[in-house]
Amino acid sequence: MTTTVIEYRRPRLYDAQEAAIFAPTRFAAVEASTKAGKSVGCLAWIVEEALRGPGDGATYPWISPAYSLSQNMYRRTKRMLGSEAVAATNESDLALTLANGAQLWYRSGDRPDLLYGFDSHGLVIDEASRVSEESWHAAYSTLSATNGRARLIGNVSLKRDWFWKLCREIEAGDRPDWSYARLTWEHAVDAGVIPLSVIEEAQRSLPGPVFEALYEARQPSEGMGLFNTSRLIADEDVEEDPLWRRVRAWDMAASATSRSDYTVGALMARGLGEEVTVLDLVRGRWEPEEVLNQIVATAIADGPTVDIILEEEKGSSGRLLAEAVRRRLENAGAGMVHCAKISGDKTTRAYGLAGCIGAGNLILARAPWNDDVEREMLAFPGPEHDDIIDSLSLGFNWLDENPQVLGSGWVPGQDGWRS
């Protein structure tokens, strides 16, 4: 009988990190500060589960919210293990076969239906607060035949999602097969994982609720929303800057009933600095054909210096709408039409906008719609309608990711900068 010896050395983990992830329970949930070491700890855990397990085809999935995150963890595991412990790699399927025959699979949780149909001996749900509950249910079902173990790790979301509720049930003692731990920035700083200067800069840069969620691993204090509306600036006399890049960002609804969401188009501008100005807001409940008509009419009224930003959600509907708008605007003297790919939940997408407001850099042109903006901000996250927030977040993120840079190919025109 041949014995295979695999040399493996666990990465250095600090005490609280090791206790949280290598708990003796079958299941463990860990709410943690960003960069507190939750992912590297779970990489070590799932590798050791696979090395101690039955081998010979036993599967151990690592499930992340998106493919790119799974791909990153696949590459990190490869680097951590080296060639001696890995018998085979599959780059297209993101799979590692260890020397004992066990397989580490790296999967995206964006399609729960693709997580059924196999047996797993152990698994990790990474960034659990950003993975759907349906994906967790699918992953859990794969552990039934093997009595496999699982680790769920993630930041705290600003909304009370399924992962947050699960952690509270564990804390209350309602889940006997589970353990719970919280890793904060203080644990990470004490262990030398994060410099204190990074934390101090995060405190200065992020809105209070965002810092509490991302670095203290807890829900924000009662009564604290994402947006510090006291820092909003409403200006009676907005002076348009010739260096502005201007966009009209649309958040679209699909119906016109009295309870449906609104379709919102926010006209936003940003120059070379940090200030972002909201110049106009179009808002209404329209049927799909009228939504298209409104976008086209507004684009023509805005003129060629205002680009149109549309959401591209999962599926082809966003691209089809963009093509329909482009066809209607051809030779109409309107701006360019762009599709912005959407990722993350509404709250995550609003972080940049919240930071801009907290720094006193969001200016509203004084108008009746200012009250609607503030009302949604005070109620967010979780209002009945958050369409204004979605539109402003879309526009802010586009301007932030596509900044105005002198010498970048944009040239000043009569009404603004054009390429």
Which tens digit of pLDDT belongs to each residue from 66-97?
A: 888 999 999 999 988 887 788 999 999 999 99
Q: What share of the chain is helix, strand, coil (3-state, %, to 5)?
A: 40, 20, 40
> Residue 409 — very low, low, confident or very high, per pLDDT cuts 50/70/90?
very low
* CATH number belonging to domain 229-418: 3.30.420.240
C-alpha distances out from residue 305 to 245, 275, 296, 301, 334, Å? 8, 19, 15, 11, 7
Q: Minimal CA–CA distance to 54: which of 169, 174, 147?
A: 147
CB-CB contact of 355 with 400 (8 Å): no
CA distance 417 to 408: 11
What is the pLDDT, as a whole number, of residue 362? 93
Nearest CA among 92, 65, 89 for reference residue 77 = 89
By mean pLDDT, which of 60-64, 144-148, 326-330, 370-374 is the weakest? 326-330
- Say if CB 36 and CB 183 are below 8 A apart: yes
Write down the pLDDT at residue 196. 95
More confident of the two residues 267 and 329: 267
116: three-class secondary structure by DSSP: coil
Residues of the chain with CATH 3.40.50.300: 15-215
Token digits of residue 250: 């649309």
> How many helices, marked H, and strands, marked E, lie in the chain?
14, 17
Helix, strand or coil for residue 304? coil
Q: Alpha carbon of 211 to those of 140, 217, 224, 340: distances in Å?
A: 31, 9, 12, 27
In this predicted structure, the answer to whether residue 172 has a pLDDT above a threshold of 70 is yes
Give the three-class secondary structure for 383: coil
CA–CA dist 168, 252 (Å, integer): 35
DSSP 147: T
pLDDT at residue 175 is higher than 70: yes
* Two tokens, residue 356: 């801009």
Separation of alpha carbons 371 and 174, rounded Å: 43
CATH number of 15-215: 3.40.50.300
DSSP element (H, E) containing 96 = strand 95-98
Which tokens belong to 323? 């093509």
Residue 366 CB coordination number (10 Å): 13
Over residues 365-371, mean pLDDT = 93
Per-residue CA distances from 215 to 36, 166, 183, 322 (Å): 9, 20, 9, 38
**Percent of the chain residues topping a pLDDT of 90:** 53
Position 188: which residue type? Answer: A
Q: Give dist(CA 120, CA 111) in Å, integer.
A: 17
Rg (the chain; Cα; Å) = 25
Residue 318, pLDDT score = 58
Q: What is the pLDDT of residue 406?
A: 52
What is the average pLDDT across 197-206? 88
Total residue count of the chain as it appears in this document:
419
Q: Which residues contact 163 (CB under 8 A, 6 or more apart)?
A: 29, 31, 128, 129, 131, 136, 152, 154, 157
**pLDDT, position 221:** 60
For the stretch 265-320, pLDDT in tens is: 999 999 888 899 999 999 999 888 898 899 999 999 999 999 999 987 655 555 67
Q: Provide CB contacts within 8 A for 346, sequence distance 6+.
A: 381, 386, 389, 390, 393
User: In the chain, where does the domain assigned CATH 3.30.420.240 lie?
Assistant: 229-418
The pLDDT of residue 313 is: 63
CB 108 within 8 A of CB 67: yes
Report residue 363: phi and psi, to 5°.
-115, 130
